[in-house]
Every structure is written in C-alpha cells, then in structure tokens.
Amino acid sequence: MVFAMVVIGGITRLTGSGLSMVEWRPVLGFLPPLSEEAWQRVFDLYRATPQYLEVNAGMSLPEFRGIFWWEYIHRVWGRLIGLVFFVPFLWFLLRGYVRGPFAWKLAGLFVLGGAQGALGWYMVKSGLVDVPEVSQYRLTAHLSLAFLIHALLVWTALSVLFPERRAVSDGKFLSIRRLAHIALALVAITIVSGAFVAGTDAGFTYNTFPLMDGRIVPPGYFDTAMAPFEDIATIQFHHRVLALLTFAVLMVVWWRSRWLALVPRARLAANLLGLAAIVQVVLGITTLLLVVPVSLGAAHQGGAVILLTAVTWFVYELRPPKPRG
C-alpha cells in the first residue's frame, strides 16, 4: 500500500492535482463532494488559489473534477494505510502477540505515518498562498519520509519473516557488507536529489542525454550557494551524476555477490538489486528524453521504491551474526 501511495503521489504531482483540495479534513475527508452544491463549494475554494488564478484560469467544473479526484484518492489512500496498520496492531497488542521493544517499534511506525499526513498538508499549504506550486523543500521532506517509512516497513517485515542470521566471518562478506551499506546510502541520497528534481520540475528542461545543452556540465552550474536546491540545471545535473554513480556501485555490489556463497534468499535479493538498478536507469533516461510523460514519471518513482526495497533487503541478508552469549 505504501508502494502504491508513492506512485499515486507521483501521478498527483505530474497531473497538477496536488493543490486542488484546499482543506485538510482528517476525519470527514473520507467523503468526496456528494452533491452539485458540494462540488461548487470546493470549486469556489480552488478558484481563490494562486494555481487557478495563474495557471488554470477559466477551468470548468468538469475539468476541476479531473484533478480533484487524484488528490482525493491520494489522501484517502493515506488514511486507509493508517487503518490497515492500526487496527491489526491494536488487535495483536491487546491479544499479547506483540509486546516490549517490538510493540514500541510498531507504534513508532504508526506515529511516522501520522506525521507523514501532517507533513503532506504542510507541503500543500505552501502552494496555496503566493505562488502556484509547493515548496521543493517541503515536497522533498514529504517524499523522503514516504521512502523512509517504506524502508522501515520492509526491514520490520523481514525481521518477522526471516529472523535468523547467517553466521559469516569470511573477509569477502565483510567487504561486500560495507559496500552494500554504501550502496544503500547512495540510493537514499539519489532519491532525495530526485525529489528536488520533482519539486522544481527540473525534468522538463535539458531533455537530452548524456549532454545538457550540448555540454557535460550545464551553463551556470552552481553559480550560487543555493543552486543545489533551487537552480534547475544544477539540481538536474546532480541527480544525473548521483544516479550514474549509484548505478555503478550497485553493479559492483551485484557482480561481487556472484562470487559469494550466498543462501538462495540473499542471492535472489542480489539479483533483484541488479535488475532493479538497470530498469531504473533506463526508466530515468527515457523519462527525461520524452519530457516526463505522466506514465513514465510515475513508473520512475515506483522504480525508486523497488530499488530501495531490493537494496534494503540485501543489506538485511548480510547482517552480522549476533554475538554468542
């Protein structure tokens, strides 16, 4: 469900739907407008926003419904994730199936989910005041927290499904374990840089590869201290470099894993990691060259989730054994 949420969020952003709902109603927000009067009310609220006045002036009510539904689905899906997590958690807690540190970990995940909803509204508010777009800083925080929650859920699920640790002491295992941790860090950093690309619409310019405007380093690169977060050329260039560096490290991890005596599950994780890395790079380049069509943009965002899942799983499989005693 979190994977689907990230993809839905990508579609919401790419269709310009994220600012269509100008109210935050955590409880009553489950219900969409149910009458023509209700639809007209939410449309009138939207027509007072900068996005309508500066981008969508003259939009009709049927056209508004088209963008409204994506944001509505995005918000309702988030609430459903909370219910699907909390109700079973409460049941298992009361029955005594989860207790101690593990119960606290699950409670922490639920709190993070609630914080994600609040952060999402904080992000939307930034686009309802003066400019018809959300802050790239808030969008990056919102998207990064979604990926963090997903990675923590994956790790928690693996700890329940496969709690055993393979006892490894070979120096080669220690080496690839360090390399896998580096790969995980690079994937995370690249995801954050991709969020800045999304938040500034940097993917809609310099739609050539590998050159940018006929040059390896774009003109005006890093001309201010805030360029890595606000200059479109700098943001896109950094994402390209990080993506290619991350891809290279992931390929080294996969290649070196082929010469280790991995258990079948770890071997599967390593192969999935290599495949996901290749697909993600191809998706990223194709999305850029085709000027970010909604389908490919959403697929690229979903591919990042799969890649993060694969590298998290592989790092989990390489955990060191617990000390004896």
Question: Could you state, in order of their start, the residue ranges of all structural domains in the chain?
Answer: 1-161, 165-325
Please tell me the predicted confidence (pLDDT) of residue 172. Answer: 67
Token duo for residue 80: 């459903």
> How many CB atoms are closer than 10 A to CB 49?
18
Q: How far apart are CA 5 and CA 272, in angstroms?
A: 22
Give me the chain's average pLDDT, please: 92
- Which parts of the chain register pLDDT below 50? 167
Give me the numbers of helices (H) and strands (E) for the chain, helices first please. 11, 0
Please tell me the predicted confidence (pLDDT) of residue 324. Answer: 63
Token duo for residue 184: 């995980």
Please tell me the predicted confidence (pLDDT) of residue 28. Answer: 64
Please tell me the predicted confidence (pLDDT) of residue 29. Answer: 67
pTM assigned to the model: 0.93
Please tell me the predicted confidence (pLDDT) of residue 321. Answer: 72
Q: How far apart are CA 128 and CA 225, in angstroms?
A: 27
